[in-house]
Amino acid sequence: MSASLNSGLFDSRLPQGPRLDAHAWLDFERRQPQSLEELQARYGPMFTVWSEGRAPRVYVADPAALRQVFISHGTDLRAQGPSLFKDLIGRRSLAFQNGESHRRARHILGRALAAQDHRNQAEIIAGITRAQISRQRQIPLDAFTSDLTRKIIISLLFGEAAQSRCTQLPDQLERSMTSLHNRYSAELVGDRHQALWAHRAFTRARRALRETLLEEIKAARRAPSPSSILATLLDGSEGQDLSNEELRMHLMTLLVAGHETTSAALSWALLHATSQPHYVNKIREETWHQPVATYPTTPFLQAYCHEVLRHTSPVPNGHTRRTLRELNIAKYTFPSGTELCPCIHNLHHNHRLHQQPDHFRPERFLNAATNTDTYLPFGIGSRRCLGESLAMQELAIAVAITTHHPDLKIEAPETANPEKVSMGPTIRTPDSMILRT
């Protein structure tokens, strides 16, 4: 950790932790996995980070405290949502809602996702993955998984028949996400000129994406594509009562959540697979003669996907909440306005909870149910990811079909540093990694 992180107690009621100046905060954000582990080693599974101009933020990675804070006291906390995506998905979307409006939005989206035919979804995911592999010979790994997961979520949302109406949507989503990443990266290094340029590019891309989504919603109201999530959203009184703008925000929630984290997870899954060929052989042997829809339930592949999400969690922290009143929990008092953050990365890398946590070992999940107190890749409490089932299905099927390819390789140029991860809204594989088929 940077020497400019000066530790000390700044509110004796809160867990100990460092005080960060602006430079140290940027360093903390750029090096999140390492920073989080270093602070946990120094202060324990709960620590507070103070930074000028910010409310104190308490990172929580103790299983008992996580459950007590984010489940027992859920109504005393106000979710803040991922601030990076606020300008893209909308301030009135699910992630930024609280109370009754959050429950209603969660119910609407949850019902639409649960109503889908999983066998049909599996065939769509498999078909797109096969087509994506067949047209590639050499491509950056991150570009491969990003393009693949974009196409999958767009097809599931709008239906395969609607693809001819929104051919520009994948590129618009890519430009929006890329410019958002660029703005975030420029802000991290303090490059104001680059951040302004990226913000202008983002504004243009967001406007075009918004117009396309609204046009697709209007078309779907006239003739919804069967077996699509949008058709399910429009079905019934709740969907009919939603405005086009509300539908657009729901679609943006699913587009971003169904693409960003799944893309990062898939990149890590393929990188682990190609660096450990015996795991590729196990996945091939287990799935080769199985129907695609059963891939997510095959024991080793399921354990493999769980270990990917534990070992290299794409999202190091869950949704931050802010206390609405003073809370007394265990030996700490959290004043009103304190930020509480479930620290997923540290929970997954705690030596007391996971044997040899820095080792990639899918076997740890074989013949054992996942422990919801020590394994939280999809968050906790009322903010737990609604798309968990879809994400696991997509990850398993895409991993299996990609590893079925006999010549699959992932390589790095000799000058690349394979240990240098790419930081953004998610923790991604190094952008120098190349996929060859």
**pTM for the full predicted model:** 0.91
Higher pLDDT, 416 or 269: 269
List residues forming the annotated binding site: 385
Predicted pLDDT of residue 424: 60
pLDDT (average), residues 156-173: 79
Ramachandran category for residue 379: left, alpha or beta (phi over 0 → left; psi -120 to 50 → alpha): left
Predicted pLDDT of residue 434: 87
Asked whether the predicted pLDDT for residue 8 surpasses 50, the reply is no
| pLDDT tens sequence across 389-398 | 999 999 999 9
Predicted pLDDT of residue 376: 93
Predicted pLDDT of residue 239: 57
Predicted pLDDT of residue 9: 44
Question: Which of 36-50, 209-223, 251-265 has maximum average pLDDT?
Answer: 36-50
Asked whether the predicted pLDDT for residue 24 surpasses 90, the reply is no
Higher pLDDT, 86 or 393: 393
Predicted pLDDT of residue 211: 93
Say what percent of the chain tops pLDDT 90: 53
SS (H, E, C) the chain: CCCCCEEECCCCCCCCEEEECHHHHHHHHHCHHHHHHHHHHHHCCEEEEEECCCCCEEEECCHHHHHHHHHHCHHHEEECCCHHHHHHHCCCCHHHCCHHHHHHHHHHHHHHHHCCCHHHHHHHHHHHHHHHHHCCCEEEHHHHHHHHHHHHHHHHHHCHHHHHHCCCHHHHHHHHHHHHHHHHHHHHHCCHHHHHHHHHHHHHHHHHHHHHHHHHHHHHHHCCCCCCHHHHHHCHHHHHHCCHHHHHHHHHHHHHHCCHHHHHHHHHHHHHHHHCHHHHHHHHHHHCCCCHHHHHHCHHHHHHHHHHHHHCCCCCCCCCEEECCCEEECCEEECCCCEEEECHHHHHCCCCCCCCCCCCCHHHHCCCCCCCCCCCCCCCHHHCCCCHHHHHHHHHHHHHHHHCCCCCEEECCCCCCCCCCEECCCEECCCCCEEEC
Fold that domain 55-436 belongs to in CATH = Cytochrome p450 (1.10.630)
Predicted pLDDT of residue 363: 95
Contact between 394 and 329 (Cβ < 8 Å): no
User: Which of 108-122, 164-178, 283-297 is predicted least confidently?
Assistant: 164-178
List residues forming the annotated binding site for heme: 385
Query: Measured between alpha carbons, how far is 434 from 422 in angstroms, rounded to an integer?
Result: 14
Asked whether the predicted pLDDT for residue 4 surpasses 50, the reply is no
Any idea what the Cα angle at residue 271 is, between residues 280 and 131, rounded to 5°? 75
Asked whether the predicted pLDDT for residue 2 surpasses 60, the reply is no
Predicted pLDDT of residue 241: 81
Classify residue 420 by burial, with Cβ atoms within 10 Å: 0-12, 13-18, 19+. exposed
User: Which of 19-23, 162-166, 239-243, 373-377 is predicted least confidently?
Assistant: 162-166
Question: Which of 10-19, 67-76, 355-364 has maximum average pLDDT?
Answer: 355-364
Q: 322 falls in which pLDDT band (50, 70, 90)?
A: very high
| pLDDT tens sequence across 217-276 | 998 888 878 889 999 998 865 656 889 999 999 999 999 887 889 999 999 999 998 888
Question: Which of 5-14, 23-32, 61-70 has maximum average pLDDT?
Answer: 61-70
Asked whether the predicted pLDDT for residue 433 surpasses 60, the reply is yes
Predicted pLDDT of residue 1: 47
Cα-atom radius of gyration of the chain, to the nearest Å? 22
Q: 161 falls in which pLDDT band (50, 70, 90)?
A: low
- Structural domain boundaries in the chain: 55-436
Q: 418 falls in which pLDDT band (50, 70, 90)?
A: very low
Asked whether the predicted pLDDT for residue 171 surpasses 50, the reply is yes
pLDDT (average), residues 91-116: 89
User: Which of 91-95, 309-313, 415-419 is predicted least confidently?
Assistant: 415-419
Question: Which of 26-35, 298-307, 359-368 has maximum average pLDDT?
Answer: 298-307
